[in-house]
Amino acid sequence: MKDRRKEIRNRIAKRKKMSGTRQAGLTPSFYDEDKYGFERLPAYEGTPSDMDHPLFKKEVIYFKILAALCLFLITAVMFKHPSDKFDAARNFVSKTMDTELQFAAISMWYEDTFGKPIAFLPQDAGKAEQAKKTTADTEYALPASGKIMESFEANGEGILIETGLGSKVEAVNEGTVIFSGVKKDLGKTVIIQHYDKSESWYGGLESIDVLLYDPVSKGKVIGTVASSSDASKGTFYLAIKKDDTFIDPKKVISFE
C-alpha cells in the first residue's frame, strides 16, 4: 500500500515538473513529436525595430532628410559665396529652376502610353480622337472676334486686340493652364501650355474663368475682355510663344 502511494506521489511530482517546463518555454522536443507527429519549428521573436515596414525604413527616411538638408545648405552657400568658381553651378541651378515643366506634353504622353483614367472607347473611336487631337495641336483658333489695335512689331511679344464690350476670350488650342493671376504690365493674365509645348498668353482681362493647372479644350472660355478707356469697346492682349520665343500671332491665327 505504501509503495502504491509513493508511486502516485512520484507521478504527480513528475507531471508538475513537466508542466513547469512547458510554461517556461522549454518543452522537450519529444513532447511535440509525440503530440503532433513532427518536429517543433523554432520561433523567432524580434525587437520593435526589426519589425519596421520594409518600404518605410527609418534609416532610409533619415538619410533622405539629411541628404536634402545638405543639398539645401550647399546651394545656399554657393549663392552667398562671392567666388567666381561657382558661376557655372549657379547658372545651372538658376536655369533649372526657371525651366517650366511641360504639363501639357506630359499629360499627352501619359494618355498615349497608359490611356485615359477611364476609357471605354472602341478602337476606331480612339483613333478618330487621336487624329482630332493631332489636328488640334497644329491649328490655332481665333480667341475673340475683333481687330488688331497694336501690332507685334510695336512690342515684339504680342498684339492688342479690340473687341466688343464684354466679349469672352476663348483658348486658341487645348492644353493646361500654367498661370492664372496678375502679371506685371499685363494685368489679369492666363497662360496656357499646349501639347506641342507652345504657349498662348491672354492679358489685360477683366475677369478670369480658369484656375491654375486646369485642363482646357480648344474654344473654352478662359475670361472676359477689359473695357477700353472710353468704355465703348473691349480689349485684350494676345501672345504666342514657341521654342521660348514669341512669334507674331498673325502667322498662326487668321484674324479676317
CATH code for the domain of 173: 2.70.70.10
> Within this chain, do residues 72 and 174 fall inside the same structural domain, yes or no?
no
In a domain, 42, yes or no: no
pLDDT of residue 131: 42
Q: Considering the domain boundaries, does residue 146 fall inside one?
A: yes
Half-sphere exposure of 105 (CA within 13 A, CB side): 7
What percentage of the chain's residues is helix, strand, coil (to nearest 5)? 40, 25, 35
Looking at the structure, do residues 67 and 155 belong to the same domain, yes or no? Answer: no
**Per-residue pLDDT tens for 236-256?**
999 999 988 999 999 999 886
Which of 54-68, 85-99, 104-118, 188-202 has the largest mean confidence? Answer: 188-202
Alpha-carbon gap, residue 86 to 43, rounded angstroms: 58
Whether 142 is covered by a domain: the verdict is yes
Q: Are residues 90 and 120 in the same domain?
A: no
Does a structural domain hold residue 41?
no
The answer to whether residue 225 is domain-embedded is: yes
- pLDDT of 184-236, one tens digit each? 889 999 999 998 889 999 999 999 999 999 999 999 999 999 998 888 899 99
Distance CA 246, CA 40 (A): 78
153, 171: one domain: yes
Q: Based on the domain organization, do 111 and 231 belong to the same domain? A: yes
User: Do residues 123 and 203 both lie within one domain?
Assistant: yes
Q: What is the pLDDT of residue 165?
A: 92
State the pLDDT at residue 14. 77
CA-based nearest residue to 200, from 149, 108, 147, 136: 136
Q: Are residues 83 and 141 in the same domain?
A: no
Structural domains in the chain (count): 3
Reply yes or no on whether the pLDDT at 111 is more than 60: yes
Of the candidate ranges 15-24, 35-44, 103-112, 140-149, the one whose mean pLDDT is the lowest: 35-44
CA–CA distance, 225 with 242 (Å, rounded to integer): 24
What pTM was computed for the model?
A: 0.53
In a domain, 43, yes or no: no
Confidence at residue 188, expressed as pLDDT on a 0 to 100 scale: 96
66 and 133 co-located in one domain:
no
Q: What is the pLDDT of residue 34?
A: 46
**Same structural domain, 147 and 131:** yes
Same domain, 195 and 148: yes
29 and 61 inside one domain:
no
Residue 202 domain flag: yes
User: Which residue range is the domain that position 90 belongs to?
Assistant: 48-97
Residue 78's pLDDT is 72
Answer whether residue 135 shows pLDDT above 50. no
Three state DSSP letters for 168-184:
EEECCCCEEEEEEEEEC
Of 9-23, 126-140, 162-176, highest mean pLDDT: 162-176
d(CA 105, CA 113): 12
pLDDT-derived band at 176 (thresholds 50, 70, 90) equals very high
Whether residues 114 and 65 share a domain: the answer is no
Q: Is residue 148 part of a domain?
A: yes
